[in-house]
Amino acid sequence: MSKVLYQRDGRIARITLNRPEVLNAIDDDVPRELEEAVLRANEEPGVHVIVLSGAGRAFCAGYDLTYYAEASGGKGNSVTQSMPWDPMKDYAFMMRNTERFMSLWRSHKPVVAKVHGFAVAGGSDIALCADLVVMAEDAEIGYMPTRVWGCPTTAMWVYRLGAEKAKRMLFTGDKIDGREAEQIGLVHKAVPPEELDAETERLAERMATVPVNQLMMQKLVINQAIEAMGLKQTQMFATVFDGITRHSPEGLNFKHRAETEGWKKAVKERDTGTYDWTEDRPINPRG
């Protein structure tokens, strides 16, 4: 079964992340299939707009930690190598995924991401590569791995939010709901969950009445302004740093904890701040 679905609906192409049993978590196949679907939409002259969504209960819960974090030995070693590690091997793997997420940004056809449930960690990378994001008010977005074991490789947080608000998000690894995401300017709009489909359709259908070449020109002009700020260079550093976070002493301790205790426990300890990843031990609240 395809992990990313494609459907043509008049002037709208619908791309759906399709691993609902794991909240559309990212494995080795999802980035490649996502890029292929975007290319397909761009090759169809009758398509004006792309709507990107997730099947099931969430948009995307990030990388599949059952595979990448909890697995030991040869499994999942695309993101955690044996030491000493080769940073360029890691960079090649992660930049390939970054470039595939960025197919949404490079798409000549505008992309509207429809976010429900969660768009977290690598899932937020995917959502923020879209041109416009419409969120359910109760949906959550964030990049929790900045607490340990990750750096957002697309670097879209700073380009959407500016320095101070991006620092607030990435220094804490907090998740925020759709209401706050709209308030701080991270996403286009947040609506009640029952209105998410209708609001996304209204926006996509309105855009779909504009000629393809006009949409393409406006997107190229706006994207060029962002790219002139150094987007490509920032993504290069972010992708290198992402590899460093996973191979630092703290990152390796997190990986070992996930292997021995299960990734759900390791993630809970990371997100609640109840584990000292440098000392590799639970934090004593009394000091």
Mean pLDDT to the nearest integer, 197-218: 98
Q: Residue 280 has what pLDDT?
A: 96
What HEC string does 225-278 produce? HHHCCCHHHHHHHHHHHHHHHHHCHHHHHHHHHHHHHCHHHHHHHHHHCCEECC
Mean pLDDT to the nearest integer, 211-233: 97
Which tens digit of pLDDT belongs to each residue from 146-176? 999 999 999 999 999 999 999 999 999 999 9
Helix/strand/coil for 61? coil
Residue 236 structure tokens: 């290069």
Place of tokens 């962002």: 226
Which tens digit of pLDDT belongs to each residue from 26-63? 999 999 999 999 999 999 999 999 999 999 999 999 99
Q: Looking at this protein, which amino acid is placed at residue 147?
A: R
| pTM of the predicted structure, to 2 decimals | 0.95
Mean pLDDT over each residue of the chain, to the nearest integer: 95
Alpha-carbon distances, residue 7 vs 20, 44, 101, 106, 113 (angstroms): 17, 12, 19, 20, 15
Rounded distance between C-alpha atoms, residue 20 and residue 249, angstroms: 33
Mean pLDDT to the nearest integer, 270-287: 89
Q: Residue 46 has what pLDDT?
A: 97
Would you say residue 286 has pLDDT above 90? Answer: no
Q: Residue 81 has what pLDDT?
A: 81
Contact 239, 95 (CB under 8 A): yes
Mean pLDDT to the nearest integer, 117-140: 98
Whole-number CA gyration radius for the chain: 19
Alpha-carbon distances, residue 116 vs 88, 102, 131 (angstroms): 35, 21, 17
Give the model's confidence band at 82: pLDDT under 50 very low, under 70 low, under 90 confident, else very high: confident
Opening angle at CA 197, ends 4 and 21, nearest 5:
40
Contact 18, 58 (CB under 8 A): no
Would you say residue 118 has pLDDT above 90? Answer: yes
Contact 163, 135 (CB under 8 A): no
Rounded distance between C-alpha atoms, residue 32 and residue 18, angstroms: 13
Q: Which domains does the chain have, with CATH numbers?
A: 4-282 (3.90.226.10)
Would you say residue 179 has pLDDT above 80? Answer: yes
Mean pLDDT to the nearest integer, 245-254: 95
Residue-wise DSSP of 119-148: EETHHHHHHHTSSEEEEETT-EEE-GGGGS
Mean pLDDT to the nearest integer, 65-73: 75
Q: Residue 77 has what pLDDT?
A: 56
